[in-house]
Structure 1
Amino acid sequence: MTNPSKPWLKSYPEGVPHDLGTLPYDSLVDMFEVSFAQYPDRNACEYMGKFMTYRDLNNFSQNFAAYLQGLGLEPGARVAIMLPNIPQFQIAMLGILRAGYIVVNVNPLYTARELQHQLTDSGASVLIILENFAHVLGQILTEVSLKKTIVTSLGELIGLKGKLVDFVVRHVKKAVPAWHLPHISFRAAVKLGAKRTVIRPEISLNDIAFLQYTGGTTGVAKAATLMHRNILANVMQTDLWLEPAMRNKHIEQLVFLCALPMYHIFALTACALFGMRKGGLLILVPNPRDIASLIKLLDSHPGIHIFPAVNTLFNALVRRPEFLEVKLPNLLVAIGGGMAVQQVVADQWQAATGVPIVEGYGLSETSPVACVNSTLITGFTGTIGLPVPGTEVVILDNNEREVPFGTPGEVCIRGPQVMAGYWNRPEDTKQVFTKDGFFKSGDIGVMNQDGYTKIVDRKKDMINVSGFNVYPNELEEVIAKMPGVLETAVIGIPNEKSGEAVMVFIVKSDPSLTEEQVFEYCKQELTNYKRPKLIQFRDELPKTNVGKILRRELREIAARENRTK
């Protein structure tokens, strides 16, 4: 199977090359160091009104790298980061890579069970964690093999203001549950590193840079193994694709709004890494769910050029009257990813800002960008756009044969940004690649004759809540362990706020089991976006003749019941 026609190439914006060409760096570390050398006096990030320059970022991350090297970790050691968007995330990520180690991104909202799985599966030696979540680690510390825990706070690196922030967070908001762990503070680790000399390791394009966890095509969280070449390729593809939006614009420094969490692959590449490649300023937003504060931030930052977000966030903003008063005169591109952008949201956004949402598509396994609309579009297209330079997309049937234009099939991707495989899971890796090396996304799409693809359905039962993947298998396994539950099935249902929400069907073994008990159990066992919004008790669940629960029928039942309300 080949794809000789590449119909999307005739639709490419003028000046965008068809292929990526040779990567200009030998590793991500080379890319960072070029930016440090070129832009030492530029501000690299802004956080709570405080700035950090590229020189600061260079020094802090180098010291952090030296500290990590002083721990005596083995080559290729995994170092986990469990932080929101604060300067420590950037410093830690850069320091880990500069030390020659592998970054493991961890969602800070994980429960103890989820955290234990990820630390164990990755074999992480070190964890950098925000104090707000340290109590979660405390619950499983004896079950994991960490050599060192580094704890930080929201205000640790921003001086006097930071002390006030930490006081309010700890004592007024009471957002730091009691915790007791053997640890070192982030600042102390950086200070210790400053007394050491960092040894620059040999890093090649074929070394692993990130373990990015995803459910893949099943419910078990597994890590997409992303090499330096995968991420670098995607940064360069993003750069080439955005060039038409920058053309003839005399911009001294690009300003990125980092509202999406940088532990998520979309923001990691589109903000943290691409931003550094461009010598950009990253406006760090630690809590994008606080919409009122985000609107105030936007109002005070009219210079923002690049605004990546998920549909949920765009929707939350355009529904606020006060956002409609915000002026973003310098906005070049609003990028929608992580989940499908809804037409109504895109139209409202464009009416409010004058700038369309440029929808793209990708996965953790593709670093993430595989397809995206042109930055020159004048309105919402309803498609995921075109494959980025050097990327091939084919639509295949169940026998891995290419289907005609306009015919639904599985979206399959081949390109330099596609992962090497799943960490320590050769069988899972084998299952998601065709014999010709195309990654099977699990999404059903149709491609038209101009090379534009539209996602129409999902092959897998994955649920997308505000851009985060939720896998029914995982939730069913967790809920099935609850006393009083005989059988359970999980589906996604449409939700105006989050795109989709989790609905759980349960057959009781204990008649006294209540919805409240199930909600409370899920609160203990599952992070927020995975928790059910709706629970329905039933006498039985629809099944095939071999006993497999039919989620499709449950989705139909839920849809019918919703229509009759």
Structure 2
Amino acid sequence: MRHDLEFRSIPRMVRSSAERFGAAEALADLDTGRRWSFTDVDRTMTEAVRAAVALGVRPGDRVAVWGPNCPEWIFAALGIQGAGGILVPLNTRFKAEEVGYILAKSGARVVFTVSEFLGTDFLGMLPESVRTAVVMRGPVKGDALGWTDFLALGEKVPAEAADRAIDALSPDDPSDIMFTSGTTGRPKGVVLTHGQSLRAYGWLSGVFTFAPGDRYLIIPPFFHTLGYKAGWMACLLRGVTILPQLTFDVDEVLARIAEEKVSIVLGPPTLFEDLMRHPRRKDHDLSSLRFTVPTATTVPAELVRRLRSELGFDLVLTAYGLTESTSLVSSCHPGDDAEDVAQSVGRPALDLEVIVAGEDGRALPVGERGEVLVRGYTVTSGYWDEPGETAKAIDADGWLHTGDIGRFNERGFLAIVDRKKDMFIAGGFNAYPAEIEHILAGHPGVAEVAVIGVPDDRLGEVAAAFVVRGDAALTGWELIAWARDRMANFKVPRRVEFIDAMPRNASMKVDKGALRGRGAN
């Protein structure tokens, strides 16, 4: 089913869901106890669209949302999009300079935010260029509008005006500009459309078996595709209850899984490791857990098995994407062999072309490593106001160059070996940190591991491993000796550093830049 053609836009999808799922619970605020049905969500969306129109949001205007996972984030996004605006999600870890750059780059002069989060004054970091700030949660300061006052603005706008604005949207209209993390320079804004979003996650949520009656505790941040499109948007499309999680607190998450009968949890491997290692995990009833995707390009086979045996998930899948491809390139499917799930990121998504290419851009044979290229409907039209950067990423034939190194097996499953930029050369041989990490993660004393290349006088570069111990007795020499029996000598770490926890960015991915800083010491 082509959900972009069926619904045309994200707000129209919400309206259809109200008709299909009606009084079923769509959204719960676990911090305040308030709950919304699908009908309620549609009604509140209309209020938010009317208010956005009253605020002056017009088709094509860019409007930012900067705050943690909460119902108001969803309604702000739907209000912006329903008025014809383009949503600009902002990372909650950003500081004033980063926020100022993105607001200036996108031209967003209206920001929905919170007064404070994790001890940071969000309102105080907004630049003078912001015309209007709407406080979704917390005390209102200065000229900012509170959430209730914002919705009250909509009373001046007839409901019919909101209907017309929503009906005017087409699948080709931009729904959002998703700014990249900026780890290789200034963040770039990836322009994505309503049609791309609905088609991609209409398909993927079906593969993921999302269904009415499921309850999804959304821990990944809403500013990331995993929390937004594979999160609350997919829930609204499939009739799944949205349970936003403000911050990741292990005790709170375990309690909520039991109390709310949560069936779906997605997130990085560290999230599940924290749940499994918790000393009081068995005090909580986790029997409702049904489906998960550990969101990493390399997932240890042992983790897949433990997600089933220790946390009780019925179905564990893996998938792969990047922002420039609407975060969808490939996925495993129910019924795929457990080893294929653990050793790959699945097969190409429906209607996408995916190849592993050599330096000449041509597809390589099965088993050979090369850069993953993607072509099809998920690929962005380009970076916002960055034609030069767009031309670097998407070639004249429409192939998106992902920067990821991968290989296909004989059954068509894609494995991501590493980031092209993370590869290092040890003694003339290409070494891939993700491959080394995958092997080291098989040691029973290793809870988490990250590998980087560091300078070496003789070999040029060698592997350095940063390890979170699962066994306090594990030594670096022991791990190095174990590795020598399992990988080529040029891949074996020359240095092992034990750390208490991996440095992570707001998307919960390992911050290898921080590790490189330590590795240079």
**Aligned: 1:87 with 2:71:** yes
**Aligned: 1:253 with 2:197:** no
Match of 1:387 in 2: 348
1:45 corresponds to which letter in structure 2?
L
Aligned CA distance change for structure 1 residues 272 and 333 (closer, same or farther; 3 Å) = same
Aligned CA distance change for structure 1 residues 403 and 418 (closer, same or farther; 3 Å) = same
Match of 2:205 in 1: 239
**Aligned: 1:227 with 2:193:** yes
**Aligned: 1:431 with 2:392:** yes
1:360 corresponds to which letter in structure 2?
A
**Aligned: 1:138 with 2:124:** yes
1:69 corresponds to which letter in structure 2?
V
**Aligned: 1:317 with 2:275:** yes
Instruction: Work out whether residues 63 and 109 of structure 2, in 8 Å CA contact, stay in contact via their aligned partners in 1.
Output: yes
**Aligned: 1:354 with 2:312:** yes
Q: How many Å separate the matches in 2 of 1:492 and 1:281?
A: 43
Q: How many Å separate the matches in 2 of 1:535 and 1:239?
A: 36
TM-score normalized by structure 1? 0.71
Aligned CA distance change for structure 1 residues 296 and 430 (closer, same or farther; 3 Å) = same
The answer for unaligned runs of 5 or more in structure 2 is: 424-432, 435-451, 453-462, 470-502
Aligned CA distance change for structure 1 residues 531 and 128 (closer, same or farther; 3 Å) = farther
Aligned CA distance change for structure 1 residues 410 and 45 (closer, same or farther; 3 Å) = same
Match of 2:22 in 1: 40
Aligned CA distance change for structure 1 residues 225 and 292 (closer, same or farther; 3 Å) = same
Instruction: Work out whether residues 367 and 408 of structure 2, in 8 Å CA contact, stay in contact via their aligned partners in 1.
Output: yes
**Aligned: 1:375 with 2:334:** yes
**Aligned: 1:197 with 2:158:** yes
Q: How many Å separate the matches in 1 of 2:513 and 2:180?
A: 19
Q: How many Å separate the matches in 2 of 1:216 and 1:419?
A: 17
Q: How many Å separate the matches in 1 of 2:51 and 2:244?
A: 25
Shift of 1:180: 4.7
**Aligned: 1:112 with 2:70:** no
Instruction: Work out whether residues 410 and 444 of structure 1, in 8 Å CA contact, stay in contact via their aligned partners in 2.
Output: yes
Instruction: Work out whether residues 217 and 442 of structure 1, in 8 Å CA contact, stay in contact via their aligned partners in 2.
Output: no
**Aligned: 1:78 with 2:62:** yes
Q: How many Å separate the matches in 2 of 1:347 and 1:267?
A: 25
Q: How many Å separate the matches in 2 of 1:232 and 1:276?
A: 11
**Aligned: 1:286 with 2:246:** yes
Shift of 1:39: 2.5
Aligned CA distance change for structure 1 residues 332 and 389 (closer, same or farther; 3 Å) = farther
Higher RCO (CA-CA < 8 Å; seq separation 6+): 1
Query: Residue 454 of structure 1: which of 409, 415, 418 is its match?
Result: 415
Query: Residue 254 of structure 2: which of 271, 285, 295 is its match?
Result: 295
Match of 1:96 in 2: 80
Q: 1:492-524 CA deviation, whole Å, 9 max, x = no partner?
A: 964549xxxxxxxxxxxxxxxxxxxxxxxx9xx
Match of 1:24 in 2: 6
Instruction: Work out whether residues 352 and 376 of structure 2, in 8 Å CA contact, stay in contact via their aligned partners in 1.
Output: yes
Match of 2:173 in 1: 207
Q: How many Å separate the matches in 2 of 1:326 and 1:183?
A: 42
Aligned CA distance change for structure 1 residues 104 and 52 (closer, same or farther; 3 Å) = same
Aligned CA distance change for structure 1 residues 536 and 67 (closer, same or farther; 3 Å) = closer
Pairing 1:540-551 to 2, within 5 Å after superposition: none
2:331 corresponds to which letter in structure 1?
V
Aligned CA distance change for structure 1 residues 327 and 121 (closer, same or farther; 3 Å) = same
Instruction: Work out whether residues 406 and 417 of structure 2, in 8 Å CA contact, stay in contact via their aligned partners in 1.
Output: yes
Q: How many Å separate the matches in 2 of 1:493 and 1:52?
A: 47
**Aligned: 1:61 with 2:45:** yes
Q: 1:310-337 CA deviation, whole Å, 9 max, x = no partner?
A: 1121121111132244443343321122
Match of 2:483 in 1: none
Identity %: 25
Q: How many Å separate the matches in 2 of 1:427 and 1:276?
A: 37
Q: How many Å separate the matches in 2 of 1:360 and 1:529?
A: 18
1:183 corresponds to which letter in structure 2?
A
Determine helix, strand or coil for the equivalent of 2:55: coil
